[in-house]
Amino acid sequence: MSTINTHKKCVCQDTQDHFLSRAFESLDLDQAQRALLLASFRETRVNIPLRVNTDGTDRLKTFMGYRVQHNQARGPFKGGLRFHPDVNLGEVRALAQLMTWKTALIGIPFGGAKGGIAVDPLSLSSRALETLSKRFCQKMGPIIGDHVDIPAPDMGTGPQVMAWLLEEYSKNHGFSPAIVTGKPLELGGSEGRLEATGYGVAYLADKAARRLGHGPETRRVVVQGFGNVGAHAALRLAELGYCVVGISDITGGFYKESGIDVQKAMMHVSETHSLKGLPDCEGIDNETLLTLPCDILIPAALEGTVTCDNADKIQAKLIVEAANMPLTHGADEQLRARDIAIVPDLLANSGGVLVSYYEWVQNLQEFPWMRETVLRRLEERMAEVYTRVAALAKEKQVDLRTAAYELAITRVNRAVELRGF
């Protein structure tokens, strides 16, 4: 296990630094306080050797795994685990910081962390992926724990990977469902966790659209990215009466003016593993998708997909950030200058970690809740926080993102001060 302190700054860190500095200025925090709040508690990098079968021969490959634990002033470290070829320390660090602000904003007693392995999960067999996940857990064993650091799914991972981590961790600690969240229901996962992030995104998109004076009747929605979050957001918005005119994944974009049947698209993905060949829709490229005529745009793919190069062509009046950091700060500025409302990531997609918290609580209490209870509590909490952020934004004449960061930073800063160092 090695601990790394420095790494080239990545684009998402640059973006977050800009967003944070707007809030820091508004809060009048001095340089020393800012530095303390930005520093990671611990950054761990492990290498994981694995024999991978390519073309019938076993070849040795070494994968890099990361866990950045940013801040634990308000509770145990919490955050997802990403399997993607582009995972690197800089990205994981920026995403770990975002988790600290997200858990503080939504008011759950966790800090922030993020981890990942630089791997394309689709390039490995299920057996190889299981071994890789379990070896990662072995190597991270000393720094995780159900009251220390609790991983969850993120891009490229899901309930199955969480089940493998649970198994590996439980070998040394006894059955420990609270070590991970986003588990399969059979192993102590929570009702509603799988759809929680997308459900919360849809809930806030609807709230924000109504606030702008529009109901579902006239609303056209475009969702970029059709993974767990994007698909469930699209599904829920369709259930609420919105017309989902565009969706996309890495194979391309799909458009239908009269509305895509989201349920059918989800079935198509579960059968064929992608949206490729989706019937009854016009195929378009991903760039065109972002600039389609629509009312609500939901970027639910990777970070940094909306940039200064395409922001001016966006026609939506409302953007709800389902992905983490989908907008570069330059794009954010351009869009705000055009009066396009933005519900920021730390608020919009916080339903995922919120229900992770509910799952953790159910595991510790050994008492599962009903789906209705989980979703009702999700809606109640998100509504409460949205109202608070909107009120602060109005009071201070700032955008929703700056207000959200201000609330979060104030809470973390206070916890740090109270605990001393």
Residues annotated as catalytic (active site), given as ranges: 114
Nearer to ligand GLU by C-beta: 152 or 238?
152
Q: Which residue has the tokens 């800090």?
A: 111
246 binds ligand GLU (CB under 6 A): no
Work out which of 15, 133, 181, 328 binds ligand GLU, going by CB under 6 A.
181
152 binds ligand GLU (CB under 6 A): yes
Strand 57-71 to strand 42-54: parallel, antiparallel, or no bridges (unpaired)?
antiparallel
Kindly write out the interface string for residues 84-103 of this chain, putting x where it contacts ligand GLU by CB under 6 A and - elsewhere.
------------------x-
Are 215 and 393 contacting, i.e. CB atoms less than 8 angstroms apart? no
15 binds ligand GLU (CB under 6 A): no
Nearer to ligand GLU by C-beta: 152 or 292?
152
Work out which of 43, 91, 149, 154 binds ligand GLU, going by CB under 6 A.
154
Q: Which residue has the tokens 């009854």?
A: 280
Strands (E), 206-323: 220-224, 243-249, 252-255, 282-284, 296-299, 318-320
Are 382 and 352 contacting, i.e. CB atoms less than 8 angstroms apart? no
351 binds ligand GLU (CB under 6 A): no
* Options 135-143, 267-275, 346-354, 393-401: segment touching ligand GLU (CB under 6 A): 346-354
Nearest to ligand GLU by Cβ — which residue? 80
User: What is the C-alpha radius of gyration for the chain, rounded to an integer number of angstroms?
Assistant: 21
Q: Give me the least distance between CB of 335 and ligand GLU, in Å please.
A: 22
Strand 341-343 to strand 318-320: parallel, antiparallel, or no bridges (unpaired)?
parallel
* Cα 302 from Cα 294, distance rounded (Å): 21
Task: Enter the DSSP assignment of 214.
Answer: -
Phi and psi angles of residue 324, each rounded to the nearest 5 degrees, phi first: -85, 125
Neighbours of 140 (CB within 10 A): 22
Q: Which residue has the tokens 């820091």?
A: 24
Q: Give me the least distance between CB of 420 and ligand GLU, in Å please.
A: 27
Number of residues engaging ligand GLU in binding (CB under 6 A): 12
Nearer to ligand GLU by C-beta: 100 or 356?
356
Neighbours of 310 (CB within 10 A): 15
Angle between helices 228-239 and 262-272 (to 10 degrees): 150
What is the dihedral sign for C-alpha 107, 109, 111, 113? negative
Kindly write out the interface string for residues 303-332 of this chain, putting x where it contacts ligand GLU by CB under 6 A and - elsewhere.
---------------------x--------
Nearer to ligand GLU by C-beta: 79 or 227?
79
356 binds ligand GLU (CB under 6 A): yes
Q: Give me the least distance between CB of 408 and ligand GLU, in Å please.
A: 13
Work out which of 45, 70, 74, 78 binds ligand GLU, going by CB under 6 A.
78
29 binds ligand GLU (CB under 6 A): no
Interface with ligand GLU (CB under 6 A): 78-80, 102, 152, 154, 181, 324, 349, 352-353, 356
